[in-house]
Every structure is written in C-alpha cells, then in structure tokens.
A and B are shown apart, each in its own frame.
Chain A
Amino acid sequence: MHHNSHTISVLVENEFGVLARVSGLFSGRGFNIESLAVAPTNEEGLSRMTIVTRGDENVLEQITKQLNKLVDVIKVIDFSDESAIEREMALIKVTAEDQNRAEVLRIVDIFRAKIIDVTPKSYTIEATGAPVKIDAILELLRPLGLKELVRTGAVAIGRGAKGWKG
C-alpha cells in the first residue's frame, strides 16, 4: 500500500453549497486534502475541481465512490489511472537586495518564471509548472529569503485528443 499523492478531477453542478459538500465529505470522513482548485468550466452551470489527496488504494477508492455519491457531483476522474498533465501557479515574494538580486534573476530565468513586481528590496515572481517544478524553484529561493508565497494548487487535464466535456 502506498500513501501516494493522487490527483482527482471532479465535475460538479455549480450549485449553492457544493464546495462545502465536497470539502465537508473530506473532513468528515478523515480524508486529507493537499490542495483544491475550483472554477467554472466552459459549460454553463458546471465547475471543475482538482483535488490533490493522499492515501492508500482503499482510501482512494472510498474517496472516489463517496464523491460520486454526492448528488451535485457529475463525474469523477482519478488521474492515478490516466496519464495527465498537471500544472500549478505560484506567486512568490522574495527578498532581493544587492548581491541577491542577480541570483534571483538567474533562478527565475532557469525556471522560465516571470518577475511581475519589483521594489528596491523585493521581487515578486510568477512561476508556472508541474507541482514538482514549483517545489524545486522554492527550494532554491528559500535560502535567499522568502517573504510570501501563494500557490493555486494543481489543476490537471488528461493527455491526448480525448476531451472531457464540461
């Protein structure tokens, strides 16, 4: 049994209280949420959530079944079974003074990130990529002085030509 991290995509009715139903299910049953991202889709009335969770196979099976049982949930995809692309965005404010400034720029460049705000004492960086890539840039920036960090949590989409309506 592996306590791996799993990414689940959930298509939901954009109804009153739907986020509470989903998050309440996780907390009430002791499932853990590492991140959760949600926004409307291109089909009216529908939203898509991407949830990253941790647990063994049994836990994951229960999570997907319990999600499916919610009346407002239309579809659940467990991306452990399918090949998917995951992306996350982070906004990172780092200390950037004197000798640091060049080093921060170098790291930003290597990770193809962007500086989106500059002050004499700081840079604010926008980084996008697979969650492991975000982890990696943070590891390099942390020693330079991380002032603030905001991550979106992962969003995921299946590979290939097949689209998932909604």
Chain B
Amino acid sequence: MKMNGARILLECLKLEGVDLVFGYPGGTVINLYDELMNVREIRHILPRHEQGGTHAADGYARATGKVGVAIATSGPGATNTVTGIATAYMDSIPMVVISGQVTTALIGNDAFQEVDMIGITRPITKHSFLIRNPKDIPSIVRKAFYIARSGRPGPVLIDFPKDVQIAQAEFKWPETVDIRGYKPNLEGHPRQVEKAILMMLAARRPVIYVGGGVISADAAGDLTALARRLQFPVTTTLMGLGSFPENDPLALKMLGMHGAYAANMAMTNSDLILAVGARFDDRVTGKIATFAPHAKIIHVDVDPTSIRKNVRVDLPIVGDVKDVLVKMLAELDKQADGLKELQANLSVWHEDISGWKEKYPIAYKQSTTTIKPQYVIQKLRELSQEDAIMATDVGQHQMWVAQFFGFQQPRTLLSSGGLGTMGFGLPAAMGAQAAFPKRQVICVCGDGGVQMNIQELATMVQNRLPVKIVILNNNFLGMVRQWQELFFDKRYSQTCLELPIDFVKLAEAYGAKGLRTEKPGEVEQVIKEALAHNGPVVMEFKISREEKVLPMVPAGASLNEMVLNA
C-alpha cells in the first residue's frame, strides 16, 4: 500500500512496539504530527522543552528496558535534544530520537532552522541515519531500533527531512534486519568462562564489581544467584545500584568517590575482581596507579572497547552479561567440591569485610533542629513501596540517594551517571511514571538542578503523572560548594543561589500540590501526605545548608585514601 513518508514512519514505530513517544512539533515535523492524529495506537506526550522530552524518553527506557522515543523539529528543537542524547549515550540507554530536517534540496544551504544534526550528534550517538527516500524508512527504522537496543545499548538519531515525510512510497516492513558491519558479540566464550571459574575458585579475597551493564542486560537475578552461590561480596557503581539487593549481607554497597568505606577497602585489598558490565570509570577507580594493586581482574562486558580501556585485565570475556552469568552458574554446578573448599578459604576475608563495615558504616549525624538530607532519604525508603522508582538529579542529593536509599530491585534508580546532567531527574521521573502509572515514582532534586527542567511540572499535571518531587533545598549548588569548601578554602564562587524560591507557590502555579517543612519532626508527615496524594507533589525540605557527602575520595587520590569525616 502507498502512504506518505510520515505515515510509513509511524507504522514502523507501531511495528517496533512503540506505544508512547515524547515530542514537540515545529515546521519540519508538522506533516508527521498531522499523520499522528490518524494513528491512535501511539500515545504522544508534549513536554514543555525538548530537553525534557528527551530525558523523559530516557527515563521511560531506563524504567522499562524498552527503547524510548523522542521527536523534535529541526534546528533549535533538534539541538535542544543534544544534552538528552549525550546523557543516554554515556549511560548506554536505548533511545531513538527523530529530528525533523529541512527539505532535502535545501540541506547544506543554511536554510531556516537547518542544523547538521547528524554532525552535531556523531560523537554522542551509537549511530545515525538521514532518510533520503521514503522507501528506505522501514529498513532505517528497523535498523535504528535494532542498533539502539542490542549489544551495548545507546541512542540512535533519525534525521527526517520534510519532503520525505510528504513523498509517497510503498510500505513494506523488512522481516529481518542484517547489518554486515554490526554484529555484537553476545556469546561469552565457554573456554574463557571455564578459566574464570578456576580463578574464582582459587580466590581468597574476591569482589564482584557490578555496573549498569547488569541492569541493561536484565541479569540482576543471575548476578545475585552467582554472588550467593560463591559467597562473594558485591559492590556496585551508581549505575549498578539495584542489581544486587543492598540488604543482603554480601552487599558492600556503592564504591568509588562517594562509595562505602568497606567497598573501597575491599577493592583495594582484593586478590580477584570479577567486573561485570562495568567500565572502570575514574570516579570508581580513583588513582589508576594504585587501584587494586593485588587483584587479578576478570572483565565481562558486551562492549570490547570497555575492556582494557582504563585498567589492565587478566581475563576478558566479551559477551552479553546475562549469557556469561548463566554459563558461569552452569559451570559451577559441576564444582561442588571446589565450592566447598572455596567457602573455607573465604572466612578470613568475610571477617575483614565485616570489620570494615562496622568501623565506618555509611552514616550521618542526626539533628533535632535542622533536617538532615540523609534522614529524608531514609524516610523515603521507609515510607515508599519496595518497587518505587527513584529518579535523581545531579549533585549532593544524588549521592545521598545512592548511599541511603537501599536499592533492592533493578530499574528502580534513574540517575545520570556518566554525563552527570543537572536537569535530568524531573523529566526522567515523568517518563517512568508515564510507563508505570500505578507505581510510586519519586524524584529527588537539589534546588539548583530542579530549576533546569522545572517546566515539566506542567506536563505532569496535564498528563496526570503523579510524580512525587523532593527538593532538598540547601540554597547552594551544593556539590560544587562542597568541593570549594574542601579544596578551595571555602571560596564560594558563584555557588550560593541567594534568591530563595517559593517552591510551594511554584508548584501551585502549575496546578501541582506543594508542601514544605524545615522541621525534622515534620518530615515523615510531609512524605506521607505527598505519597497519599494522587497527583504530582513538590515537597520542599529546607536542609542543613553545609552538609557534606561523605566519605569522599578526593579526585586523583587512591580509593583507600578516603576523607571520612571532614
């Protein structure tokens, strides 16, 4: 059947299982939006800024594991998606962004609202396509979704010129997708797995170090099973939180710059690190030269470029994390004796770890006069459902969430780990809530970052997305202020926000509910009231202003050189 290009694209989205897109209209997508009115199966949410829409698509993808879809018009609409695309790229989030483009004949002429989106996004997309002919739309869309979700996931851009949206073509859906230059290596090599098992059985001071790859491979269950079978302690990166239940005795919690003392000590003293879906980021390793000096490293990752990029690796295993973990579990079934022997060998190590955990647990000093941010996070955990989704913005509050929320399930934390994008939290929460209207979705922000995409409150109210927004208000750009306090003699250059904002009134102006307190005694009541409300709520907590995130490994220091109480 012949259709116009706009309709073909929408039919393709349906076939890819897309039921929700976030987008913003404009001149070069007006034809696409016109066709959208004829396609009932795709729900469309109109954010108030394309950055918000892109982060929402990202939040939707993180929470569901499906590909998030965002649409923007050419020029400024498209450039507004750039931060969202880069955020998704750094955290390996599957996303397809469709940008309008000027008519093919005008490309390159500096036409009105023309930008070279393919060029701008080249380093921050997994791949990109310019559609030149409507008959190519099905194969391009098919490839775009396949690339976005397979292997190490990531964002893919489709640049869609206006004339191609209008032109007619025969619609034919390709049954298969085959890209000769793109064949992700998903199967872990059995010999490598066998070797890994022998190394693990011989370990005396092992640690499993888990990253976001375990979550994107939907392998949290296998990872947990493996850790428990081996009785290996587990530490996670920010992106890995939720892949291993933090109430398990084997949990070391998060490692790295603001990681737990026990986690960083375990890494430093280990003789074997099993890295799974993690990439040895500098926030995690500290000073590379002194990182885990005695450890042999097994590195499991679907992306070969992650392996040996930052640290030496003794045994690389390229493959889908789930495939490798399942193979490891099967291999362990044959090792009853080895496992028994291993347990006897690990008792000293478990004692060391218990000692570190007791010596410096993740903790804070409670106060009866000012609200401690950590206390708010603990109360949120206590009062929310176990499957509640927690989105964060970027800054101190993000680290307090990571330290104190006690993540138990995968895909319950939405946080910009790699790019550290302020303004991410609120729209990401919105995207997750759109995917799961019945689940509790909470967003913790600072008073700085929340103002970077605050306009999406309107979208939440309009679309009945009852996100519970927590603002930990210290009237500072807190994380930068902390660095200035510790490393720049308290010279608070441009980090005091000065103008106090009435966030309650702001919420009300958008038609949301607003609550505020500065009394520790009222925290619980405010959270309860917010969670009971069936619309979006902004909770403003005025917190102790100069609270610091601790422990802290200063940038460039070794992992075991932690500032514990400054």
| Chain A residue at minimum C-beta to C-beta distance from B143 | A71
A interface, how many residues as a size bin? 20 to 34
- List residues of chain B with CB within 8 A of the CB of A74: 180-181
Given contacts A13-B181, A69-B303, contact A62 B122 (CB under 8 A): no
| Chain B residue at minimum C-beta to C-beta distance from A70 | B181
Say yes or no: B118 contacts A68, CB within 8 Å.
no
Given contacts A65-B305, A71-B127, A71-B182, contact A17 B118 (CB under 8 A): yes
Say yes or no: A71 contacts B119, CB within 8 Å.
no
Task: Answer yes or no: A30 CB below 8 A from chain B CBs.
Answer: no
- List residues of chain B with CB within 8 A of the CB of A99: none
CA distance A14 to B123 in the complex (A): 19
Contact with B along A67-102 (1 / 0, CB 8 A): 011111110000000000000000000000000000
Given contacts A16-B130, A71-B182, A74-B181, contact A28 B123 (CB under 8 A): yes
- List residues of chain B with CB within 8 A of the CB of A69: 303-305
CA distance A118 to B288 in the complex (A): 60
Chain B: residues with Cβ within 8 Å of the partner, total of: 19
Say yes or no: A62 contacts B305, CB within 8 Å.
yes
Contact of B122 among A13, A20, A61 (CB under 8 A): A20
Task: Answer yes or no: B344 CB below 8 A from chain A CBs.
Answer: no
Contact of B119 among A20, A61, A68, A70 (CB under 8 A): A20
Task: Answer yes or no: A21 CB below 8 A from chain B CBs.
Answer: yes
Main secondary structure of the interface of A (DSSP, over half): helix
- List residues of chain B with CB within 8 A of the CB of A20: 119, 122
Contact with B along A98-133 (1 / 0, CB 8 A): 000000000000000000000000000000000000
Task: Answer yes or no: B289 CB below 8 A from chain A CBs.
Answer: no
Residue of A20, A61, A68, A69 with highest tally of chain B CB at under 10 A: A69
CA distance A133 to B526 in the complex (A): 79
Residue of B119, B303, B304 with highest tally of chain A CB at under 10 A: B304
- List residues of chain A with CB within 8 A of the CB of B123: 24, 28
CA distance A152 to B181 in the complex (A): 27
Say yes or no: A24 contacts B305, CB within 8 Å.
no
Say yes or no: A73 contacts B181, CB within 8 Å.
yes
CA distance A80 to B179 in the complex (A): 28
- List residues of chain A with CB within 8 A of the CB of B305: 62, 65-66, 69
Task: Answer yes or no: B147 CB below 8 A from chain A CBs.
Answer: yes
| Chain B residue at minimum C-beta to C-beta distance from A66 | B305
CA distance A62 to B309 in the complex (A): 7
Task: Answer yes or no: B229 CB below 8 A from chain A CBs.
Answer: no
Task: Answer yes or no: B528 CB below 8 A from chain A CBs.
Answer: no
Task: Answer yes or no: A42 CB below 8 A from chain B CBs.
Answer: no
Given contacts A24-B123, A69-B303, A70-B181, contact A61 B118 (CB under 8 A): no
B residues within 8 Å of A by Cβ? 118-119, 122-123, 126-128, 130, 132, 147, 179-182, 303-305, 308-309
Q: Can you report 13 A-B residue pairs in the complex whose CB atoms are below 8 A from each other?
A: A17-B119, A17-B122, A17-B130, A20-B122, A24-B122, A62-B305, A62-B308, A62-B309, A66-B305, A68-B304, A69-B304, A71-B127, A71-B147
User: Which A-B residue pairs are the 3 nearest by beta carbons?
Assistant: A65-B305, A71-B127, A74-B181
Interface contacts beyond A16-B132, A17-B122, A66-B305: sample of 11 additional A-B pairs, CB < 8 Å, sorted by A = A13-B181, A16-B130, A17-B119, A17-B130, A24-B122, A58-B308, A61-B308, A62-B305, A62-B308, A69-B304, A71-B126
